[in-house]
Structure 1
Amino acid sequence: MYELFFWKYLDEVYLNHHLVYEALLEKETLEGLEELPVEVILNRISNAFSTWEKVDESSWKNNKGPGAFQIITTPQSIQIDCYGTEGKTMNALVDIMEEFKCPLYDPQVPQRYDEMAE
C-alpha cells in the first residue's frame, strides 16, 4: 500500500507537516487548515476514473490492469491509499488534488510538495 495525503493550509499558516498528518490520521480538526470541498473532489476523482470499477462510495479498482485505491476523508483532508497502483495513476490523483490547491504530503518519505515542479 502506498499512501497519498492532502490538506490545505489557510493563508500565511505553516505547521509541522508530519504533526498535521498524524493529527489528521486521528480525524482531529486543526486550526490553520481549510475545510475542503470533499464531495466536489470525490466527484472529480470519480469522473476522472470513470473507466475504473467503483467498488463502493470511496474505492475504485482498475479492471484493465493493476491497481486499486481507497479514499478516506475528513472535512480537512483527503487520504488516498493506493494498492498496486501505477505511478502514472498516482500522478493523476496528485494532479487532481493540485486543481484544488492541495499539495501532496507523502508520509513514506516524509515530504510535502508545496511547490510542484512542473
Structure 2
Amino acid sequence: MYELVFWQYQEEVYLNHQLVYEALIEEETVEGLELLPVQVILNRIASVFSDWEKVDADSWKNPKGKGAFQVKTTPLSVAIDCYGTQGKTMDKLVSIMEEFKCPLFDPQVPARYDEYYEEE
C-alpha cells in the first residue's frame, strides 16, 4: 500500500507538514487548514476514473487488474491508499488534487510537494 495525502493551508499559514499529517491521521482538527469541497473532489475522481470499477462509494479497482485505490476524506483532508497502482495512476490522482490547490504530502518520504504554490 502507498499512501497519498492532501490538504490546503489557509493563506499565510505554514505548518510542520509531518505534524499536520499525524494530526489528520488521528482525525484531529488542525487550525490553519482550508475546508475542502470533498464531494466535488470525489465527483472529479469518479469522473477521471470512470473506466475503473467502482467497488464501493470510496474505492476503485482497475478492470485490467493493475491496482486499486481507496479515498478517505475529512472536511480538511483527502487520503488515498493505493494498492498495486502504477505511477501513472498515482500521477493522475495527484493532478486531480492539484486542481483543488492541494499538493501531495508523501508520508513514505516524508515530503510535501508544494514548491509550486510557494512561488505564486
Residues in 2 aligned to 1:74 and 1:23: alpha-carbon distance in whole angstroms? 12
Structure 1 unmatched ranges of 5 or more: none
Residues in 2 aligned to 1:63 and 1:47: alpha-carbon distance in whole angstroms? 15
Deviation at 1:64, TM superposition (A): 1.5
Structure 2 unmatched ranges of 5 or more: none
Answer yes or no: is 1:63 the counterpart of 2:40. Answer: no
Deviation at 1:28, TM superposition (A): 1.0
Partner-residue secondary structure (3-state), 2:82: strand
Q: Which residue of 1 aligns with 2:9?
A: 9
Tell me the matched-pair count: 116
Report the identity percentage: 74
Runs of 4+, deviation exceeding 2 Å:
none
What do you get for the CA RMSD once the two structures are aligned? 0.7
Answer yes or no: is 1:92 the counterpart of 2:89. Answer: no
Q: Which residue of 2 aligns with 1:103?
A: 103
Q: Which residue of 1 aligns with 2:47?
A: 47
Deviation at 1:65, TM superposition (A): 3.5
Residues in 2 aligned to 1:32 and 1:25: alpha-carbon distance in whole angstroms? 16
Listed one character per residue, the Cα deviations across residues 3-60 of structure 1 (whole Å, up to 9, x for unaligned) are 0000000000000000000000011111100000000000000000000000000000
